[in-house]
A and B are shown apart, each in its own frame.
Chain A
Amino acid sequence: MNKKEEILSLLESNAKLSAAELAVMVGRPAAEVEKTIADLEANKTILGYNAVVNWEKTSSAPVTALIEVRVTPQRGQGFDHIAQRIFRHDQVKSCYLMSGGFDLMVIIEDKSLKDVAMFVSDKIAPLDSVLSTQTHFILKKYKMNGTEFHSKDEDNREAVVL
């Protein structure tokens, strides 16, 4: 891993690290690290900084569903055009083109099961090039973006070990 990639992977696991701290951790001058980050933001390698939230701990836990969509690709545009039609909706958190038994994997978050079902039947299923959809609701999140949700992160070691 070069320094740029090291910085990216550190930020990916903890976006709150300051440029000054990152500089010490990777052993480079602070100014250089600041510039590296600015460049990565400018060329859209870094697209944003997110918190990993366990919404279950709040009163407004959304419903998450994974929709398998089979589509007919369009002449001259392949899957990109239809994918865009779908992922522009705010409810869509992720959208991927897949190999295998279906084409698009669409991850949707909404307030309730009903909202998700309505969204699929209103906005995705009726599209001309959509052949079929299959909706899978997520029941429990164990691990997301590398973070385990229910692990007990205690340090159970002795207080002093020589």
Chain B
Amino acid sequence: MNVDSMLSDKVKAIPPSAIRRFFDLANEMKGQVISLSIGEPDFVTPWAIREAGIYSLETGNTHYSPNQGFIELREAISHYMKRRFHIQYAPKSQVVVTVGGSEAIDIAVRAVVNPGDEVIIPEPCFVAYKNCVLMAGGVPVTIPLRAEDNFVLKPDQLRAALSPKTKMIMLGYPNNPTGAVMSREQLQDIVAVIRDLPVLVLSDELYAELTYEPASHCSIAELDGMAERTILIGGFSKAFAMTGWRIGFACGPESILAAMNKIHQYVIMSSPTTAQDAAIEALRHSHEHITPMREEYNRRRRLVVHACREMGLGCFEPLGAFYVFPDIRSTGLSSNEFCERFLQEEKVAIVPGHAFGECGEGFVRISYASSLENIREAMVRLKRFVERNSPK
């Protein structure tokens, strides 16, 4: 039997990663390189949250939770969404606790997409969106965002991408990989385009807490009439440095949440109990936990943006997440060549923009979720590398 021929068509349709070689190279060199290529906090989860997890285990809280998550946690999420982002969700019927934002994205897409449905995905973006749509049998329709728009979705671009088959738009702001945020006004322009159309929005707001002044986070679900057609994805991974706990959540309209719960209960059962207990503590003192990390990210952010501009790399002010997305076209190298050579010659790993969609070509993603010393040294090496590779 040829086992390869037994694989599902859906899985086969998922293209292999365009930057596989770079990945392999970087991972082989792990330990010898400074890595600014990591999409997760360098901070360890704040001690009070870890301690709550330990206490949970100590007291023997090692069983399944209710499918949708402990009601205490769903209530805490509901309060938090109201307090921070002014959106009201009923804990019992409009919140589900998931295994990371990742699971939430997957079950949201699967709950609404029929084969052939189109899902609009502005790129560059988090790599999972497109593949979740493909796995659900949907058709991803990508929009190449423009550097001159600071990678914000513009209404004319959205209008051009819409069709009668459009089921949903996937928005991810603050954005991985660009660090872009969308203001209330910019979101309002988007809402105006879809207001009268039967189109849903999936808003991935994992980085909502990592928004830097003068920007402040606005969820599209806050806007008039949008809560009833928006699935909001939230998380703990980035805001509370809890990537390894595997916990996140989704909020949205009751009927969609009920559909998502059907999938969740059969494929996941419930998200990790220890992580849920830790997450309750995280939300109880969210401000104290998040503020010092956000302030530290903000300082590093300014350092990286400043360094990039000093060495002549074009770079807009990214006001969210923990990424800077400079333009490397002046070097004449492709983003892949740039990153491979930078890795080999200067032992620093950053990610080719290409990994996040074709329109990311010509850009690289620098993550500042790394120590200040690493960042300072990496910027010295980047400057040297850029100087060496600039046309005379």
Chain B residues, CB < 8 A from A160? 22-23, 26-27, 35, 37-38, 349, 351
Interface residues of A in 5-27 (CB under 8 A from B): 6, 10, 14, 21, 24-27
Q: Are A158 and B126 in contact (CB under 8 A)?
A: no
A91 to chain B, nearest CB (A): 34
Distance, CA A101 to CA B111, complexed state (A): 66
**Chain B residues in the interface with A (C-beta under 8 A):** 22-23, 26-27, 29-30, 33, 35, 37-40, 42, 126-127, 176, 295, 299-300, 302-303, 306, 349, 351, 355-356, 370-372, 374, 376
Q: Are A157 and B349 in contact (CB under 8 A)?
A: no
- Complex alpha-carbon distance, A14 and B373, angstroms: 11
Interchain residue pairs with CB less than 8 A apart (9): A25-B303, A157-B35, A159-B26, A159-B33, A159-B37, A159-B349, A160-B27, A162-B351, A162-B356
When distances are taken between beta carbons in the complex, the residues of chain A under 8 Å from B306 are 24
Task: Assess the A155–B302 pair: CB atoms within 8 A.
Answer: no
Residues of chain A within 8 A (CB-CB) of B372 are 14
- Nearest-neighbor residue (CB-CB) of A13 within chain B: B372
- Given known pairs A21-B303, A160-B349, A161-B40, the reply for A155 and B371 (CB within 8 Å) is yes
- Alpha-carbon distance between A1 and B30 when the two chains are bound, in angstroms: 38
**Given contacts A26-B299, A162-B39, could you give 10 more A-B pairs where the C-beta distance is less than 8 Å?**
A6-B295, A25-B299, A155-B370, A158-B38, A159-B349, A160-B26, A160-B35, A160-B351, A161-B38, A162-B351
Q: How many residues of A contact B (CB 8 A)?
A: 16
Kindly report which residue of chain B lies nearest to residue A26, judged by CB atoms. Answer: B299
> Which 4 A-B residue pairings sit nearest by Cβ, starting from the closest?
A25-B299, A159-B30, A159-B26, A24-B306
Residue of B nearest to A27 (CB): B302
Q: Mark A119-162, 1 if CB is under 8 A from B, else 0.
A: 00000000000000000000000000000000000010111111
How many residue-residue contacts, CB under 8 A, span A and B? 57
- B33 contact set on A, CB distance < 8 A: 159
Given contacts A155-B42, A157-B40, A157-B42, contact A162 B302 (CB under 8 A): no
CB distance from A52 to the nearest CB of B (A): 15
Q: How far is the CA of A26 from the CA of B212 in the complex (A)?
A: 12
| A-side contacts of B40, CB under 8 Å | 157, 161
CB-based contact B37/A161 at 8 Å: yes
A161 touches B29 (CB 8 A): no
Chain B residues whose CB sits within 8 angstroms of the CB of A26 once the complex forms: 299, 302
Judge whether B126 and A24 touch: CB under 8 Å: no
Give the docked Cα–Cα distance between A139 and B35 (Å): 38
Shortest distance between the CB of B21 and any CB in chain A (Å): 12
Q: Which of B30, B355, B371, B376 contacts A162 (CB 8 A)?
A: B355
Nearest CB of chain A from residue B344's CB, rounded to whole Å:
14
Q: CA A162 – CA B371 in complex, angstroms?
A: 18
Distance between A33 CB and nearest chain B CB, rounded to angstroms? 12
Give the docked Cα–Cα distance between A66 and B349 (Å).
47
Docked pose: A155 CA to B31 CA in angstroms: 9
Given contacts A26-B299, A160-B26, A161-B40, are A155 and B35 in contact (CB under 8 A)? yes
Q: Which residue of the partner chain, among B23, B38, B127, B376, contacts A157 with CB atoms under 8 Å?
A: B38
Which residues in A have their C-beta under 8 angstroms from that of B126? Answer: 162
* Contact A162 to B27, CB < 8 A, known contacts A26-B299, A27-B302, A157-B35: no
Which A63-103 residues have C-beta < 8 A from chain B? none
Q: Which residues of chain A are near B27, meaning CB under 8 Å?
A: 158-160
Minimum CB–CB distance for B241 against chain A, Å: 11
User: Which residues of chain A have C-beta atoms less than 8 A from B29's C-beta?
Assistant: 159
Does A159 lie within 8 Å of B303, measured CB to CB?
Answer: no
A21 to B380, CA, bound (A): 13
Check if A162 sits within 8 Å of B127, measured CB to CB: yes
Check if B302 sits within 8 Å of A24, measured CB to CB. yes
Residues of B within 8 A of A157 (CB): 35, 38, 40, 42
Q: Which residues of A contact B30 (CB under 8 A)?
A: 158-159
Give the Cβ gap from A4 to chain B, nearest Cβ, in Å.
Answer: 15
Contacts of B356 in A (CB 8 A): 162
Q: Which of B42, B351, B372 has the most CB of A within 10 A?
A: B372
Whole-angstrom CA separation of A118 from B30 in the bound complex: 53
Residues of A within 8 A of B300 (CB): 25
- Kindly state the separation between the CA atoms of A58 and B123 in the bound complex, as whole angstroms: 55
Report Cα–Cα, A162/B302, bound state, in Å: 22
Task: Kindly provide the distance from the CB of B373 to the nearest chain A CB, expressed in whole angstroms.
Answer: 9
Provide the residues of chain A in CB contact with B38, threshold 8 Å: 157-161
| Residue in chain B with minimal CB distance to A22 | B299
Task: Return the chain A residue nearest B373 by Cβ.
Answer: A14
Min CB gap A69→B, angstroms: 34
Q: How far is the CA of A135 from the CA of B185 in the complex (A)?
A: 66
- Smallest CB gap from B243: residue in A: A161
Determine the distance from Cα of A162 to Cα of B127 in the docked complex, in whole angstroms: 7
**B29 and chain A: residue at smallest CB distance:** A159
